[in-house]
Structure 1
Amino acid sequence: MPFQPVTAEKLAAAVVRQIEQLILRGILRPGDRLPAERELSERLGVSRPSLREAVAELQDRGLLSSRAGAGVFVADVLGNAFSPALTRLFASHEDALFDYIAFRRDMEGLAAARAATHGSDTDLELVDTIFRKMEGAHSKRDPSEEAALDADFHMAIVEASHNVIMLHMMRSMMDLLREGVFYNRSVMFRRRTTRDMLLDQHRAINDGLQARDPEAARGAIEAHLNYVRASLAEQREADRHEDVARLRLQQEVGR
C-alpha cells in the first residue's frame, strides 16, 4: 500500500517554508536584512536552535547569506539573471534597447491586465499611492525622484499580478532599468513636455487599474511604452545629427 506514517513537521522546516514563501512572493527582497535572531525567533514563536537550523538550511540553498558582524540577508538571487558580459553587450547595442522596451510592453501589458483582475484592493491602493507620490514629485525641478518612482510604479503593477515567475523575471528587468543599462530615465524626465506626457500616461494606467478594467490598463501600458520607444528613437536620431553637425563645424573652423 502507498501510505506513509503521518509525522509532525519539524519547527525548522516550517520556518524554512515561511521564509521561502516570503522570498518567492517578493516580500523579502535581495539585500533585505532579517531581524536579529532573538527578535525573529520571538516573532516566529520558535526556539533559537530551531531558527538557527532553518537559517543554516536556507544558506545551504543559497537563499540567505550571512555577513560577519552585520547579520543575515536575503541573497542576491537575481544577480545571476544576466551575466556582466551580457549586460555590457546589452548596453552597447541599440537593437537591445528596443527589444527590451518591446519585451516590457508585452509583459507589463499582461501584468496590468492580471492586476486589474486578480489584484487585491490593497495591491491597487499601493499602485495608487505610488502614483500620487509621482504627482507630488512632478512639480519639483529635479526629475530624479519622479524617475525613481516611475520604476516603483511599474514594479508595483507586476507585483499586483500575483504571478511569481513574472515577478522575479520583471524585477531583474527593472533592475537593469534602474542601473541605466539601456537608457537614463532622468534624461527623459528633464524635458517638461515629455515629463507632462509621461505623467498623463501613468495616470491613464492607474485609472484603468483602479476601475478594474483589464483592457484599459493593458492598452494604457502599451501606449506608454510605445511612446517611450518613439521618444528614445527620436533622441538617438537627434544625437546622431548633432554629432554630424559638430564635425561640420570643426571642419569649417579649421579652414
Structure 2
Amino acid sequence: MPFRPVQQEKLSAAVVHQIEQLILRGILRPGERLPAERELAERLNVSRPSLRDAIGNLQEQGLLEARAGAGVFVADVLGSAFAPALVQLFARHDEAVFDYLSFRKDLEGLAAERAARLGSRTDLQVVQTVFDKMEAAHAKRNPEDEAQLDALFHMAIIEASHNVVMLHMMRSMYQLLREGVFYNRQIMFRQRATREVLLDQHRAINTNLQKHDPDGAKQAVETHLNYVETCLRNQIKTDQNEVVARQRLSHEVERH
C-alpha cells in the first residue's frame, strides 16, 4: 500500500521552509542581514538550537552565509546568473544593450499587464510608495537616488506580478544595470532627455497600474523603454560622429 507513517515536522525544518519562501518570493534579498540569533529565535518562536540547525542547513544549500563578526546574510544567489566572461562580453558590445532593452520591454510589459490585473491593493501601494519617493528625489535633483529608485520602481512592478522566476531573473538583470554593464542613466541626459520626461513616463506607468488597466500599463512600459532605446541609439551615433569630427579637425590643423 502507498502509505507511510505521518511524522511531525522538526521545528528546524519549518524554519528552513519559511526562510526559503522569503528568499524565493524576493522578500529577503541578497546581501540582507538576518536579525541576531536571539531576536530571530523569539520572532519564530523556536529554540536557539533549532534555529542554529536551520541556519546551518540553509548555509549548506548556499542560501545564507555567515560573515565573521557581522552576522548571517542572504547569499548573493543572483551572482551565478551570468558568468563573469559573459558580463564582460555584454559590456563590450552595443548590440547587447539593445537586446537587453528588448528583453526588458517584453518581460516588463507582461509584468505590468499582470500586476494591473492580478496585483493586490498592497502590491500597488508598494509601487505607489516607490513612485512617491521618485518624485521626492526628483525635487532634490540627486542622480544616484533617482537611478536607484528607478530600478526599485520597475522591480516593484515585477514583484506585483507574482511570478518568482521572473522576479529573480529580472533582479539579476537589474544588478547588471546598476553596475553600468548596459548603460547609465546620465547618457540619456546628453541627448536632451529631460528628467521631467522620464518622471512623467514613470507616472504614466503608475497611473495605469493604480487604475488596474492592463493594456494601459503595458503600453506605458513599452513607451518608456522605446524612449530609452532612442536616446541610447542617438548617443551612440553622436559619439561616432564626434570621432569623425575630431579626425577632420586634426587633419585641418595639420594642413595649416
TM-score class normalised by the smaller sequence: over 0.9
Cα distance in 1 between the residues matched to 2:189 and 2:115: 26
Cα distance in 2 between the residues matched to 1:143 and 1:21: 34
Offset of 1:106 from its aligned partner? 0.2
Offset of 1:143 from its aligned partner? 2.5
Decide whether aligned partners of structure 1 residues 252 and 107 sit closer, same or farther in structure 2, where only a CA change above 3 A counts. Answer: same
Cα distance in 1 between the residues matched to 2:244 and 2:140: 34
Cα distance in 2 between the residues matched to 1:139 and 1:201: 16
**1:10-89, aligned counterparts within 5 Å?**
10-89=10-89
Decide whether aligned partners of structure 1 residues 252 and 189 sit closer, same or farther in structure 2, where only a CA change above 3 A counts. Answer: closer
Cα distance in 2 between the residues matched to 1:191 and 1:121: 37
Q: Which residue of 2 aligns with 1:228?
A: 228
The answer on whether the counterparts of 2:190 and 2:235 sit within 8 Å (CA) in structure 1 is no
TM-score (norm 2): 0.96
Deviates more, 1:17-26 or 1:134-143: 134-143
Q: How many residues align?
A: 255
Offset of 1:12 from its aligned partner? 0.4
The answer on whether the counterparts of 1:29 and 1:74 sit within 8 Å (CA) in structure 2 is yes
**1:80-159, aligned counterparts within 5 Å?**
80-159=80-159
The answer on whether the counterparts of 2:191 and 2:234 sit within 8 Å (CA) in structure 1 is no
| Unaligned stretches of 5+ residues in structure 1 | none
Q: Which residue of 2 aligns with 1:167?
A: 167
Offset of 1:118 from its aligned partner? 1.5
Amino acid at match of 2:5: P
The answer on whether the counterparts of 2:130 and 2:152 sit within 8 Å (CA) in structure 1 is yes
Deviates more, 1:208-217 or 1:189-198: 189-198
Offset of 1:49 from its aligned partner? 0.6
Amino acid at match of 1:215: D
Decide whether aligned partners of structure 1 residues 198 and 52 sit closer, same or farther in structure 2, where only a CA change above 3 A counts. Answer: same
Amino acid at match of 1:114: R
The answer on whether the counterparts of 2:131 and 2:153 sit within 8 Å (CA) in structure 1 is yes
CA deviations over 1:18-67 (Å, ceiling 9, x no partner): 00000000010111111111111111000011001101111111111111
Helix, strand or coil: the match of 1:139? helix
The answer on whether the counterparts of 2:134 and 2:146 sit within 8 Å (CA) in structure 1 is yes
TM-score (norm 1): 0.96
Q: Which residue of 2 aligns with 1:182?
A: 182
Amino acid at match of 1:183: Y
Cα distance in 2 between the residues matched to 1:185 and 1:39: 40
Helix, strand or coil: the match of 2:2? coil
Question: Identity percentage over the alignment?
Answer: 69
Decide whether aligned partners of structure 1 residues 139 and 187 sit closer, same or farther in structure 2, where only a CA change above 3 A counts. Answer: farther
Offset of 1:13 from its aligned partner? 0.3
| Unaligned stretches of 5+ residues in structure 2 | none
Task: Tell me how large the CA RMSD over aligned residues is.
Answer: 1.3
Amino acid at match of 1:130: V
